[in-house]
Amino acid sequence: MGEMLQIEYRCGQPVKHHGRTLTPFNRVVSLRFAGRSFGAVWNKPSSLLVQQPDGSEQILPIPDPTRRKMIVILASGLFIWLIARLWVVRRQAV
């Protein structure tokens, strides 16, 4: 399972902007099937390191509203499927 599913945190290239250095960090989740030539890779930004000219540093998390929306869509679909399934079972019982 360790080689099939891999989770890594990677550091991007630092960028200078108005005297600050911005360094992005992302999480990479990869799913690869042994002996197959296909898989899936999910690359998600996770945080941003901001280094001020005076030397202070701050880590800013990057929220993921897409994941929340995907969970709502999946939960809604499951709920509608359950209601439809109950409706069909009740109609068949009558």
Residue 13, pLDDT above cutoff 90: yes
Domain ranges for the chain:
1-62, 63-94
Q: E-assigned strands of the chain? A: 5-11, 15-17, 20-32, 39-51, 57-61
Q: Are 15 and 22 in contact (CB under 8 A)?
A: yes
Q: What's the pLDDT score for residue 48?
A: 95
- Lookup: tokens for 11: 């550091």
Q: What's the pLDDT score for residue 42?
A: 86
Closest CA to 55 of 15, 6, 20, 24: 20
71-91 pLDDT, tens per residue? 999 999 999 999 999 999 888
The continuous run of DSSP H or E covering 26 comes out as strand 20-32
Most confident of 38-42, 44-48, 65-69: 44-48
Measured distance CA(58)–CA(49) in Å, rounded: 6
What global pTM score does this model have? 0.62
